[in-house]
Structure 1
């Protein structure tokens, strides 16, 4: 099914329900020309009313970072750490060092809800597991700061989660961080018995740049044939270096949370090449992968005014065209990272519920 967001916009405001790949009902909410013209003047014009208070906070933070440069990275990195919530006492967390490969130091992983070879609390058998990669535009964020967030996932799904503290750009290019995240996935698979994990029920998951890393992991898992995956969970994933460089967003898109200039900076830091140019190494960009057939089933969610909305819809369509079961959820009026900023708003709850439901289906668990 061909979905072109620009052609839909020209037809005015609509809301489409689209099933991609047979994994379930997807919702694609798209504004019209009135929204585009209004949002060009006011970045809050297209924001869902329940998300506006959080949007004002995001705008204030963006003003401190714009334009995003290496000199401003400490502000971005500090802001991400400030979002970390308190740890739950009922879900264990342990930091481990694991080997990566020749020439790369051991990497730290946060192991959440491991059961030391015991089974799940529900069945007594081995648990499903998720390899998680954190967001932050490839240049910020940390697995350490995500522990509380991931404890909630582990508790809700009765699963084990391993989150990789991959080396950030521009200190390291994509070849190193991709090697580190794949080492985490391979370690999770190899240590399944010790962690109480069912290696037949492994998923990868990430948000923003972490969604880009998770997509790259799904490609590597297919190509290497070492770790079978049941699902790739990509939340507003950063998939295409051309967004904001050779492909510019429509007015009102990508003004909150992560903009075109920040995207160019993040991709150049990650790839070591000018985004959108012929020098870009395709191995570091999921959207530049020529063959998507054979990848793990996918769940993709993105906000309707997120900078990544076009590239995420396009990737979902390409996966579907390649025969990969894919569920796409587009939340109208939602900006980048909205569910982390205003988690109790109904658009956020909708995303959270859909994501958990997709994981439960992949893990063979009853509906929550």
Structure 2
């Protein structure tokens, strides 16, 4: 680990922000500008696609694809982001595994609040299955809000009677719309990116008045994870959202689900995006790729793309 690297990232993410609430347009523009600075790996190819009635970005390795499909859900607090903003992460997983990914451009709040993003995620998964993909050769992956979607889309898919994917990979997932985790206050100021006020501001756009005390909004508290596929949850110790991950992992364990909770010290939210700048980012991506490869190898089936 490099203390200098971690300190540099922390300083970079603490740049002065405008006073007061920002408009949705400013939030989206700022997020796009930030993510445009993240390194996209060599050795991948991208193409526009469509999945379940929504635009998507297909990401392939330059060589022959390994069997399986990664269904990726981007971050952005359910109000911003796109497959393009997540390309550093999606591309890193594709480059490391050789597996093709589809990154879904799901609908965003406030124009399309809960449960629009979950509906789009499930439709994308159903579309993969309808094209012949074996669920044992599909894995869900995502970061931040998209990390939360890996869990809530799996819950919704199960409720719809769909077979579950082979595994779930979540980077710094948002899993508790009630904001009741101890880390929400305990990590305030330690987290260089998020504050309670900021999360409640964007979270209200996604909730649009919905009760946060329900499984599809707060699965870390209320989700029935019985029968879930294996999970890998990676999170930084400096996150106000840390307890979203720790409580989900405990809930998965109690439900008899294979779960790995991977906490990295002194790093921020979705630190994996800082590949090439932070040793811990590359190491975490290597562990994530190993998990995905193991899950897909166990499935032993082609994805039916």
TM-score bucket of the superposed structures, by smaller chain: 0.7 to 0.9
Deviations 1:60-81 (CA, angstroms, capped at 9, x unpaired): 0x62476455363244343245
Query: Secondary structure at the residue paired with 1:145?
Result: coil
Name the counterpart of 1:18. Answer: none
Name the counterpart of 2:164. Answer: 228
Query: Secondary structure at the residue paired with 1:180?
Result: helix
Deviations 1:304-331 (CA, angstroms, capped at 9, x unpaired): 1111112210110110011010001111
Query: 1:252 deviation in Å?
Result: 5.0
Whether the aligned pair in 1 keeps the contact of 2:73 and 2:150 (CA below 8 Å) is yes
Name the counterpart of 2:33. Answer: 79
Q: Aligned partners of 2:18 and 2:36: how far apart in 1?
A: 15
* 2:56 counterpart of 1:113: no
Name the counterpart of 1:95. Answer: 48
Whether the aligned pair in 2 keeps the contact of 1:80 and 1:140 (CA below 8 Å) is no
Deviations 1:106-159 (CA, angstroms, capped at 9, x unpaired): 3101122289xxxx838xxx7111110000111111112333542332232121
* 2:294 counterpart of 1:341: no
CA gap of 1:162–1:244, structure 2 versus 1, over 3 A, is: same
Query: 1:343 deviation in Å?
Result: 3.9
Deviations 1:25-53 (CA, angstroms, capped at 9, x unpaired): xxxxxxxxxxxxxxxxxxxxxx9442111
Greater Rg by CA:
1
Q: 1:320 aligns with which of 253, 258, 265?
A: 253
Q: Aligned partners of 1:87 and 1:329: how far apart in 2?
A: 23
Runs in 1 of length 4+ with deviation above 3 angstroms? 64-72, 83-88, 244-248, 251-254, 278-282, 341-344
Q: TM-score, normalised by structure 1?
A: 0.72
| Root-mean-square deviation (Å) | 2.9
CA gap of 1:252–1:98, structure 2 versus 1, over 3 A, is: closer
Query: 1:344 deviation in Å?
Result: 3.8
Report 1:1-368 matches (<5 A).
48-60=3-15, 63-64=17-18, 67-70=21-24, 72-83=26-37, 85=39, 88=42, 90-99=43-52, 106-113=53-60, 121=64, 127-192=67-132, 199-243=135-179, 248-252=184-188, 255-273=191-209, 281-341=214-274, 343-364=276-297
Deviations 1:256-275 (CA, angstroms, capped at 9, x unpaired): 1222112112221111127x
Q: Aligned partners of 1:97 and 1:290: how far apart in 2?
A: 30
Name the counterpart of 1:4. Answer: none
- Which range moved further: 243-252 or 339-348? 243-252
Whether the aligned pair in 2 keeps the contact of 1:253 and 1:305 (CA below 8 Å) is no
Which consecutive unaligned segments of at least 5 residues does structure 1 have? Answer: 1-46, 100-105
